[in-house]
Amino acid sequence: MKILVAVKRVVDHNIQVRIRPDGSDVDIAGVKMSINPFDENAVEEALRLKERGLAKEIVAVSFGTAANQDVLRHALAMGADRALLVETEAQLQPLGVAKLLKAVVEREQPDIVLLGKQAIDDDAGQAGQMLAALLGAGQGTFISSLNIEGDEAIVTREIDGGTEQIAVKLPAVLTADLRLNDPRFVKLPNLMMAKKKPIETLNAAELSTDTAPRLKQVKVSEPPARKPGVKVGSIEELIEKLHEEGMLS
């Protein structure tokens, strides 16, 4: 079984992004970038399937500029077998990502595509479902466990108010929730070894897909701030305030 894992390069989750003075976008120049945490869960799960003898080959793919080599190296250092960088300067949106992934799937013919349930920059949470649609495949989204039985992926999905178990025929698209696993730490020797593994590079134009952005960002802004609060000195004062607000009636 072959697994394709899609990894996105995003602003590290510990960084508080700043808005450009003209409000046109966020300013991420010189900011620390990392693999999208949910995609790291996806890589980890693929590795576990391989370690359990269920998967044979793990291919990591990322879309972007040469800078994206760092997240692919991270996936290789974790244990992915090979990596594919599809180079594009375009501002990719979820539908464009899904179309590029579809082209990669047609080339690689994986049994499972694993990716994060959302990226922590645009927080859209769409690419996996869109890819499944374009492939005519079944989808298992927001998964917190994965098993393979016969020609099906048996997954637990995190839904509002509980979890759900479904079986999805392979080939399938699965999106990882954070509780799917704890990604392993990358050890330095592995990172050094990963530097020797080749990263195959393709130009997005070779995949002849329509990746033009469909949504136009008009501006970015600070979210409305909450009005400053007060510190209360005691439980009694807190209860008095809550009564005044009508919260305890």
Partner 1 sequence: MSVLILAEHDGKALNPAVNHAVTAAQHWGTPVHLLLAGNDTNVIAQAAAEISGVARVIRVDAAHLEHALAEDLANILVAIGRDYQVILGVHGAYARNTLPRAAALLDVAMVSDAVEILPGNTYVRPVYAGSVYSTVQNDEAIQIITVRSSRFKAAGLDGSAEIVTLDAPPAFGKSRWIGRTHQHSDRPALGSARIVVSGGRSLGSAEKFDAVLTPLADKLDAALGATRAAVDAGYAPNDIQVGQTGVVVAPDLYIAVGVSGAVQHTYGMKDSKIVVAINQDPDAPIFQVADYGLVADLFDAVPKLTAAIH
Q: How many residues bind partner 1 (CB under 8 A)?
A: 80
- Options 61, 71, 130, 174; binder of partner 1; rule CB under 8 A: 130
CB of 84 to partner 1, least distance (A): 22
Nearer to partner 1, 80 or 97 (CB): 97
Q: Which two tokens stand for residue 136?
A: 């005519």
Q: Which two tokens stand for residue 78?
A: 């974790």
Residue 39: CB atoms within 10 A of its CB come to 31
Would you say 78 and 155 are in contact if contact means Cβ atoms under 8 Å apart? no
User: Residue 64, interface with partner 1 (CB under 8 A)?
Assistant: no
- Find the part of the chain contacting partner 1 (CB under 8 A) among 53-61, 69-77, 123-131, 190-198: 123-131
- Find the part of the chain contacting partner 1 (CB under 8 A) among 60-68, 84-92, 154-162, 193-201: 154-162
The Cα 172–Cα 150 span in angstroms is: 13
CB of 158 to partner 1, least distance (A): 6
User: Residue 193, interface with partner 1 (CB under 8 A)?
Assistant: no
Nearer to partner 1, 56 or 219 (CB): 219
Would you say 59 and 7 are in contact if contact means Cβ atoms under 8 Å apart? no
Pairing type for strands 82-87 and 57-64 reads parallel
The Cα 122–Cα 102 span in angstroms is: 21
User: Residue 133, interface with partner 1 (CB under 8 A)?
Assistant: yes
Position 82, amino acid: R
CB of 222 to partner 1, least distance (A): 7
CA angle 176, 93, 48 (to 5 degrees): 20
Nearer to partner 1, 17 or 66 (CB): 17
Would you say 197 and 82 are in contact if contact means Cβ atoms under 8 Å apart? yes
User: Residue 238, interface with partner 1 (CB under 8 A)?
Assistant: yes
User: Residue 134, interface with partner 1 (CB under 8 A)?
Assistant: yes
User: Residue 33, interface with partner 1 (CB under 8 A)?
Assistant: no
